[in-house]
Amino acid sequence: MPNNNQKAVGIFILAAGLIILLGQWGVFAFLGRVFWPLLILIPGAALHLAYATGRLPAWTLIPGAMLTVYGLVFSLCNTWGFELIDELWPAFILGLGIGIYEYAVFASKRRETLRYAAIGLIGFSLIMFIFNLLGPLFLYVFSVLLILAGAWLFFWPKAKSGKSNGWRKM
């Protein structure tokens, strides 16, 4: 066997032995448990980068944003426990909303309807985040806000310009 081939085979056998040894020590299992959210996060960032360099069309921003947000959520859950998903589930709606918003803004033809739909999804997810953070307190806060809004509308003074504020005179 020529000297170069012998060295190549030697490097291959050495690398195979190291990989098997690291696998037996649990290094790859540890890395897989810790860094698996990167398998979701990196493709999302790559889609954004590919769009930014002009290699992909604007619609790829939708899955790019979704994968990026979902990768971040799973990274947080992987770090602090998957019980956290009970509080972070609105991020799945947020990822879709951000992706649609990016597409609506960066597409060659501006899509205003999609932009408004995306803002609605983002707003809904933010409301759900607040609802999750406040929990049962949210219902108390929401009921007090409804009472205040109703009282404000009921006791609204007439406009000074002589125009009616919508209430009939009795």
pTM score over 0.75 = no
Burial class for 146, CB neighbours closer than 10 Å (0-12, 13-18, 19+):
exposed
For residues 27 and 33, give the distance between their C-alpha atoms in angstroms, rounded to a whole number. Answer: 10
For residues 148 and 169, give the distance between their C-alpha atoms in angstroms, rounded to a whole number. Answer: 23
How high is the pLDDT of residue 165?
A: 53
The number of domains in the chain is 1
Q: Give a yes or no: residue 51 inside a domain.
A: yes
In order along its 170 residues, the chain shows pLDDT tens digits of 567 788 888 898 998 888 888 888 888 788 788 889 999 999 999 999 999 999 999 999 999 999 999 999 999 999 999 999 999 999 999 999 999 999 999 988 878 899 999 999 999 999 899 888 887 787 788 889 899 999 998 888 765 555 555 555 55
How high is the pLDDT of residue 102?
A: 95
Q: Give a yes or no: residue 166 inside a domain.
A: no
How high is the pLDDT of residue 111?
A: 82
Q: Give a yes or no: residue 106 inside a domain.
A: yes
Q: Give a yes or no: residue 5 inside a domain.
A: no
The whole domain housing 68 covers: 35-154
How high is the pLDDT of residue 167?
A: 54
Amino acid found at 151: A
How high is the pLDDT of residue 75?
A: 94
Q: Give a yes or no: residue 27 inside a domain.
A: no
- Write out the DSSP string of 37-72: THHHHHHHHHHHHHHHTTSS-GGGHHHHHHHHHHHH
Amino acid found at 45: A
Distance from the first to the final alpha carbon of the chain: 109
How high is the pLDDT of residue 164?
A: 53
Q: Are residues 104 and 118 in contact, defined by beta-carbon separation less than 8 angstroms?
A: yes
Q: Give a yes or no: residue 62 inside a domain.
A: yes
Q: Give a yes or no: residue 45 inside a domain.
A: yes
Q: Give a yes or no: residue 147 inside a domain.
A: yes
- CA 12 and chain centroid, separation: 42
